[in-house]
């Protein structure tokens, strides 16, 4: 326990509110901004301007000190006190909170328990610093009033006990289970990474998914994706905006706070200042070859995920665990291929029945080689009849005689390759962000430069996203032969073709579908995030198995 860093008092507040929130934010270092946290930051805008404090006696000549940092090796905590006032009758500390006080049994307004523990910790820090207090209070902004907190010996002992309990949990390497149907979850900033209702279902804590109230959904749709294809372009930073220059002139400006990601095609030049800011803001920059092949991405350090990474390594070294997850992924892939073909094509019933048999054989696959044989047989049947999904003029203009790649030899395969490349990019970024290693897969073998785990996770989404985009573009006549270039190196989309592809791609990612277990609707982009986080839970031991996404 002595090896732990000093516990921030605000994390002690998290522990008293929800032990799982404490573990995710302090141990795993996972943090998500939401409206409540943004409002809380706005409330602290004045108190967050620290006063200059030379020594303990300096307070005697000051009416108030703001944002005072203190720490104690003996207590093992550190914190920043919002306000210390000299009221004339002694010193008072004030902590600012966004919400409202609670009501006791008599209807009186009193401070919340976790708020009282937090301010007691501050009082202990001040006492050790030789600055005893006369009183303490919580300012609740929603009510615009101060609620006094009695600094009793009982409260101080409760605070010390809570510090000890929180540290013990931190070194236990065991994330607490989620709260079950608790109203606190609905307003928690960490909901999108905790997913309490979903986690309970995945952990077999609930026999059925919750139906009484639709839970919040994870974020991921906000912001624009900036795509730059002109190799003469230059990305710079000025005044909190990304400026794209061409021949020395600014052709577009994009506020940093409104950017979700940046995609660069070819040798686009970028300033170091712009990259530093994008990394700090958690905005990935993805690099593609001029033909659209995903090369890599620039992104900041991943969120802490040592528990998940250790579990991921364990799964990779245990064939039975790898096979368990792989069976589910490939079963879902074949199921979704069959459904997509049924909806959009005209494959014979005999082919659909063969696909169903291959799908149903996946749970009984003896090993990964057997599973790869089932997956390969299904893919051959699927692409043999893929062309039946091309309708009208698309069928006449774009001949499809099976899957080919590296390089693609026809426009349909060029679209499929671009879509699969983009799926790999999307899932590589999500794996990296949640704390999984995108290069250690379960079904795909690791190989230099190959995001094996991203390729695993994209299997169930290939027909539903990438194949759907390709078929939609051609059947809607949004692309023509003039949008492709055929050379000795293969067939690729030109700049205009890629613009059309991007429109269809983001249209598909933003379209909403119903979650197969929980019944609420979410976009495909959000679904990708949910599936990666579910696998993250399986790697950490929080979930009993991996549930793939299947459509009906």
Q: By percentage, how much of the chain surpasses pLDDT 70? A: 84
Does residue 224 have a pLDDT over 90?
Answer: no
Q: pLDDT: is 220 or 115 the higher one?
A: 115
For residue range 449-484, what is the model confidence (pLDDT) as tens digits?
A: 678 898 999 999 999 999 999 988 888 888 888 888
Question: Is 49 a member of any domain?
Answer: yes
Q: Tokens standing for 64?
A: 């108030």
Does residue 2 have a pLDDT over 60?
Answer: no
Of 217-221, 406-410, 539-543, least confident by mean pLDDT is 217-221
**Both 238 and 210 in a single domain?**
no
Q: pLDDT: is 336 or 183 the higher one?
A: 336
For residue range 8-18, what is the model confidence (pLDDT) as tens digits?
A: 988 988 888 88
Looking at residues 223-238, what average pLDDT do you find? Answer: 82
pLDDT of residue 41: 42
Question: Is 545 a member of any domain?
Answer: no
**Both 422 and 470 in a single domain?**
yes
pLDDT of residue 464: 93
Closest CA to 289 of 493, 148, 130: 493
The C-alpha atoms of residue 178 and residue 18 are separated, in whole angstroms, by 9
| 237: CATH | 3.100.10.20
**Both 228 and 211 in a single domain?**
no
For residue range 381-434, what is the model confidence (pLDDT) as tens digits?
A: 998 888 888 887 666 677 777 787 778 888 888 888 889 988 988 888 888 877
Does residue 216 have a pLDDT over 60?
Answer: no
pLDDT band at 204 (very low <50, low <70, confident <90, very high): low
Burial of 431 (0-12, 13-18, 19+ CB in 10 A): buried
Q: What's the gap between Cα 4 and its chain centre?
A: 27
| 114: CATH | 3.90.320.10
**Average pLDDT for the chain:** 80
**Both 232 and 105 in a single domain?**
no
**Both 387 and 326 in a single domain?**
yes
Domain membership of residue 28 as a residue range: 7-170
Looking at residues 501-527, what average pLDDT do you find? Answer: 82
For residue range 317-334, what is the model confidence (pLDDT) as tens digits?
A: 888 888 998 999 999 999
Question: Is 350 a member of any domain?
Answer: yes
Of 26-35, 121-130, 243-252, least confident by mean pLDDT is 26-35
pLDDT of residue 357: 94
Give the count of beta carbons closer than 10 Å to the beta carbon of residue 322: 19
Q: What is the count of structural domains for the chain?
A: 4
Looking at residues 230-255, what average pLDDT do you find? Answer: 86
The C-alpha atoms of residue 400 and residue 396 are separated, in whole angstroms, by 10
Question: Is 192 a member of any domain?
Answer: yes
Does residue 143 have a pLDDT over 90?
Answer: no
Considering 31-40, 367-376, 486-495, 502-511, the range whose residues carry the highest mean pLDDT is 367-376
Among 247, 275, 298, identify where a domain stops: 298
Question: Is 117 a member of any domain?
Answer: yes
**Both 79 and 164 in a single domain?**
yes
pLDDT of residue 202: 65
**Both 270 and 212 in a single domain?**
no
**Both 350 and 472 in a single domain?**
yes
CA distances from 285 to 202, 277, 306 (A): 33, 11, 24
Question: Is 269 a member of any domain?
Answer: yes
Question: Is 436 a member of any domain?
Answer: yes
- Spatial neighbors of 49 by CB under 8 A, at least 6 apart, are 66, 67
What are the backbone dihedrals phi and psi of residue 105, each rounded to the nearest 5 degrees, phi first?
A: -65, -25
**Both 58 and 135 in a single domain?**
yes
- Exposure of 207 in the CB half-sphere (CA atoms within 13 A): 0
Does residue 34 have a pLDDT over 50?
Answer: no
| 475: CATH | 1.20.120.920
Burial of 350 (0-12, 13-18, 19+ CB in 10 A): exposed
Q: What angle do CA 375, 376, 382 make, to 5 degrees?
A: 90
Q: pLDDT: is 29 or 303 the higher one?
A: 29
The C-alpha atoms of residue 512 and residue 220 are separated, in whole angstroms, by 13
Looking at residues 227-252, what average pLDDT do you find? Answer: 86
**Both 341 and 468 in a single domain?**
yes
For residue range 63-109, what is the model confidence (pLDDT) as tens digits?
A: 667 778 888 888 888 988 888 887 777 788 888 887 788 888 888 88
Q: Tokens standing for 328?
A: 């589910």
For residue range 281-301, what is the model confidence (pLDDT) as tens digits?
A: 778 888 887 766 777 778 776
pLDDT of residue 363: 92
For residue range 42-57, what is the model confidence (pLDDT) as tens digits?
A: 444 444 454 444 444 4
pLDDT of residue 172: 83
**Both 382 and 517 in a single domain?**
yes
**Both 513 and 371 in a single domain?**
yes
Q: Which of helix, strand or coil describes residue 92?
A: strand
Question: Is 552 a member of any domain?
Answer: no
Does residue 22 have a pLDDT over 70?
Answer: yes
Q: Tokens standing for 190?
A: 């960490």
Does residue 205 have a pLDDT over 70?
Answer: no
């Amino acid at each position: 326990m002595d090896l732990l860093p000093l516990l921030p008092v605000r994390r002690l507040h998290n522990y008293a509110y929800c032990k799982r929130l404490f573990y995710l934010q302090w141990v795993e270092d996972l943090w998500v901004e939401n409206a409540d946290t943004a409002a809380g930051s706005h409330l602290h805008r004045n108190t967050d301007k620290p006063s200059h404090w030379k020594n303990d006696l300096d307070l005697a000549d000051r009416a108030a000190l703001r944002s005072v940092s203190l720490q104690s090796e003996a207590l093992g905590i550190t914190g920043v006190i919002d306000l210390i006032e000299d009221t004339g009758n002694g010193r008072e500390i004030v902590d600012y909170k966004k919400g409202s006080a609670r009501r006791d049994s008599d209807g009186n307004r009193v401070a919340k328990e976790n708020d009282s523990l937090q301010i007691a910790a501050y009082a202990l820090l001040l006492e050790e610093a030789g600055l005893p207090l006369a009183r303490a209070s919580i300012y609740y902004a929603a009510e615009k009033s101060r609620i006094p907190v009695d600094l009793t010996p009982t409260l101080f002992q409760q605070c010390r006990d809570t510090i000890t309990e929180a540290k013990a949990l931190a070194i236990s390497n065991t994330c607490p289970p989620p709260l079950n149907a608790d109203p606190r979850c609905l307003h928690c900033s960490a909901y999108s990474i905790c997913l309490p209702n979903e986690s309970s279902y995945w952990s077999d804590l609930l026999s059925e998914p919750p139906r009484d109230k639709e839970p919040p959904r994870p974020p991921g749709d906000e912001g624009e994706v900036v795509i730059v294809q002109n190799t003469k372009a230059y990305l710079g930073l000025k005044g909190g905006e990304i400026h794209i220059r061409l021949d020395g002139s600014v052709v577009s400006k994009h506020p940093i706070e409104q950017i979700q990601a940046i995609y660069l095609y070819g040798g686009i030049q970028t300033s170091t200042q712009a990259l530093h800011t994008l990394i700090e803001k958690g905005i990935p920059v993805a690099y593609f070859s001029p033909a659209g092949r995903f090369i890599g991405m620039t992104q900041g350090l991943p969120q802490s995920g040592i528990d998940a990474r250790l579990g991921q390594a364990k799964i990779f070294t245990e064939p039975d665990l790898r096979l368990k997850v792989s069976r589910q992924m490939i079963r879902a892939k074949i199921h979704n291929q069959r459904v997509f073909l049924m909806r959009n094509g005209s494959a014979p019933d005999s082919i659909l029945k063969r696909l169903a048999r291959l799908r149903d054989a996946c749970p009984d696959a003896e090993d990964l080689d057997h599973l790869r044989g089932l997956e390969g047989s299904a893919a051959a049947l699927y692409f043999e009849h893929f062309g039946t999904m091309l309708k009208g003029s698309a069928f006449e203009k774009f001949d499809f005689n099976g899957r080919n790649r590296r390089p693609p030899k026809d426009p349909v395969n060029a679209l499929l390759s671009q879509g699969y490349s983009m799926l790999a990019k999307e899932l590589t970024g999500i794996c990296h962000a949640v704390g999984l290693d995108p290069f250690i897969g379960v079904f795909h073998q690791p190989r230099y430069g190959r995001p094996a785990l991203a390729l695993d996770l994209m299997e169930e989404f290939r027909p539903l996203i990438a194949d759907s985009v390709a078929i939609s573009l051609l059947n809607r006549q949004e692309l023509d032969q003039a949008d492709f270039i055929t050379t000795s190196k293969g067939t690729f989309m030109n700049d205009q073709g890629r613009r059309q592809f991007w429109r269809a791609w983001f249209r598909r990612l933003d379209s909403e579908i119903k979650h197969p277990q929980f019944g609420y609707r979410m976009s495909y982009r959000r679904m990708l995030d949910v599936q990666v986080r579910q696998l993250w839970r399986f790697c950490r031991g929080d979930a009993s198995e991996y549930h793939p996404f299947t459509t009906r």
